Amino acid sequence: MQKSRGETLDVRDVVNLTVTFKDGDGNLVDPSSPPTITIVQPNGTILLGPTSQGVTRASLGNYSFLFTVPINGPYGVFQDVWIAMVDGFRVENAFPFVVVGTNIPTVNSDGYAHLGDEYPFDYSQVAIKNINKMIKMMKARLNSSGKIKINDSFGNPQWVSCDIFSIETLTVFLAMALSYFNSIPFFTYFTFDDEGFIAQFGEILVEGAVMYALASQALIERGREYQIGDNGLTFTPPTVSELLNSQYSGSLAQYFETVKLIKNSMRPASLGLGVFSLTSSMNPAFKRLRHLKGGRGPY
């Protein structure tokens, strides 16, 4: 199903990018040659074009291009830039469209679960409250929240969120950090419902989730770092991935040691090696009790 610029767009969606050309008197007119389109990503790099391949003439002065949002996004504000020659003058215009992530799961009509289905979170209200606390801490640590001002199809200004990580992604990172905390150096069974645990050790979970976020973003940034050349001029973007990877690697060992110290301080008593078992093994009177019949113990 095709969508327009003003609709909510997600990855894999097909958006119909349209443009209208008019002359100096405001009359619809066709360019002297097919117009070209260029797709610019949120980070400013060119994803497609300039090209006239795929541009379709709908009617006099009206042209369109069907663009499929890549599966890897990225999320943010894209631009489709149109260039054409009208009455001997070069005409250029750019139109924004926003790609955002949604948490709306797909619905299966047959009633069966399928591989790859969206798995919804099933947290209690207490757990959601605790998760929201830690998400707020993560946003402050990552500085990942942002908004951009764009104009809708009617020219009205509006502010659109362009966060680096979605709420669902941050929640997954927190769940992974909790699982890591529960698994080393011995197993525990804390959950997001444990308010006392979250109040005392929530910052440790946030620290682990932040490291997952840094490692994830470092891989994405690595794919964007390539040299750009134009007419003999070259530009090499800063190696953001190296900075993220260095911060992640440097914090990992310290985080692991911190979790071990915390877990060792709450180590449960070993089964069969408690105070009573040690006392009874050293005291022959206690050991002799197990050989006496019921009611014949010393008085």
Give the model's pLDDT for residue 297: 52
Peptide bond into 35 cis (omega under 30): no
Phi/psi of residue 22, nearest 5 degrees: -135, 155
Q: Does 184 share its domain with 87?
A: no
Give the model's pLDDT for residue 81: 92
Indicate whether 286 belongs to any domain.
no
The residue-averaged pLDDT of 3-30 equals: 86
Q: In angstroms, rounded to a whole number, what is the distance separating the alpha carbons of residues 119 and 116?
A: 8
Indicate whether 112 belongs to any domain.
no
Q: Does 150 share its domain with 75?
A: no
Percent of the chain with pLDDT over 90: 16
Indicate whether 104 belongs to any domain.
no
Indicate whether 177 belongs to any domain.
yes
Give the model's pLDDT for residue 244: 73
Q: Does 30 share its domain with 141?
A: no
Q: Does the reported pTM lie above 0.75?
A: no
Give the model's pLDDT for residue 179: 92
Identify which of 155, 19, 169, 189 has the alpha carbon closest to the alpha carbon of residue 92.
19
Give the model's pLDDT for residue 280: 47
**Token reading at 53:** 């391949």
Q: In angstroms, rounded to a whole number, what is the distance separating the alpha carbons of residues 190 and 206?
A: 15
Indicate whether 109 belongs to any domain.
no
Q: Specify which of 26-35, 157-166, 263-272 reaches the highest per-range mean pLDDT.
A: 26-35
The pLDDT of residue 221 is above 80: no
Q: In angstroms, rounded to a whole number, what is the distance separating the alpha carbons of residues 80 and 103?
A: 26
CATH number of domain containing 20? 2.60.40.1930
Strands of 21-165, DSSP E? 36-40, 46-51, 56-59, 62-68, 76-86, 89-99, 147-151, 157-161
Q: In angstroms, rounded to a whole number, what is the distance separating the alpha carbons of residues 240 and 221?
A: 6
Q: Does 161 share its domain with 84?
A: no
Domains: count for the chain: 2
Give the model's pLDDT for residue 273: 47
Q: Does 6 share its domain with 52?
A: yes
Mean pLDDT of the residues in the chain: 80
Give the model's pLDDT for residue 293: 62
Phi/psi of residue 147, nearest 5 degrees: -135, 150
Indicate whether 34 belongs to any domain.
yes
Q: Does 159 share its domain with 194?
A: yes
Q: Does 214 share its domain with 260?
A: yes
Range of the domain at 72: 2-99
Indicate whether 115 belongs to any domain.
no
Identify the residue with better confidence: 115 or 128.
Answer: 128
Indicate whether 257 belongs to any domain.
yes
